[in-house]
Structure 1
Amino acid sequence: MTAIYLLFILMLSVFVGFELIRKVPATLHTPLMSGANAISGITVIGALALAGGEYGQWSTWLGAIAVFLATVNVVGGYLVTDRMLAMFKKK
């Protein structure tokens, strides 16, 4: 029964996220990317706490994978944001 609720929440968040992002003007995408990168930075901190905690071997491995993926997300997001901002600079 819990899995059905979690699936419902996932589908609802996908729908709401898609609708919100679709209605954002192109000029606001860069600030939104920066905000998303900050949230991913918080994810890195949570993943570090999970990886370094004494919760068992599974949580250490999952935490390490989460640290890696969140770090890739943060770095990639900042690279994309930097590239987008470079398009607005005068030549």
Structure 2
Amino acid sequence: MTTATLMTCLFVFVLASFVGFEVINKVPPTLHTPLMSGANAISGIAVLGAILVSGAVGWNISIVLGLIAVVLATVNVVGGFLVTDRMLLMFKK
């Protein structure tokens, strides 16, 4: 991976982080739980992408970042399903 490619990837990551923070920050607090439960499918796609990135042969920075992405995206998916389950249990009698 060249330096230019790494800088481009880091720039896209930082820009996406800021945009994501601003979008989520504008959501009213009453909609955070349904929004999170709906985003589980997107997080599942992130898990698959991270597995593909971290599946290369040899150790380099992209494999380490891919492994971190797999762990964090998996935590996000599991946490989202747990919150959704708790939310649905509130509606059972």
Name the TM-score, length of structure 2 as normaliser. 0.69
The answer to whether 1:14 aligns with 2:17 is no
What do residues 50-84 of structure 1 show as CA deviations (whole Å, max 9, x unaligned)? 10135851111110111011001100110011001
User: Aligned pairs, how many?
Assistant: 85
Does structure 1 retain, via aligned residues, the 8 Å contact 2:53–2:66?
Answer: yes
Instruction: Return structure 1 stretches of 4+ with deviation > 3 angstroms.
Output: 2-13, 28-31
Specify the code of the residue in structure 2 equivalent to 1:72: V
Distance 2:53 2:92 in 1: 41
> Which ranges in structure 1 are unaligned for 5 or more consecutive residues?
none
Superposition RMSD in Å: 2.9
What do the CA deviations read for 1:16-37 (whole angstroms, capped 9, x no partner)? 3322x11x7x3x5554222211
Q: Contact 1:43 / 1:70 at 8 angstroms: preserved in 2?
A: yes
C-alpha change, 1:45 and 1:16, in structure 2 (3 Å) is: same
Contact 2:55 2:63 in 1 (8 A): yes
User: Could you tell me the percent identity over the aligned residues?
Assistant: 55
Aligned CA distance change for structure 1 residues 16 and 73 (closer, same or farther; 3 Å): closer
Name 1:52's counterpart in structure 2: 55
Is the 8 Å Cα contact of residues 30 and 85 (structure 1) preserved in structure 2? no
Where does residue 75 of structure 1 map in the other structure?
Answer: 78
CA gap 1:65/1:84 in 2 versus in 1, 3 angstroms: same
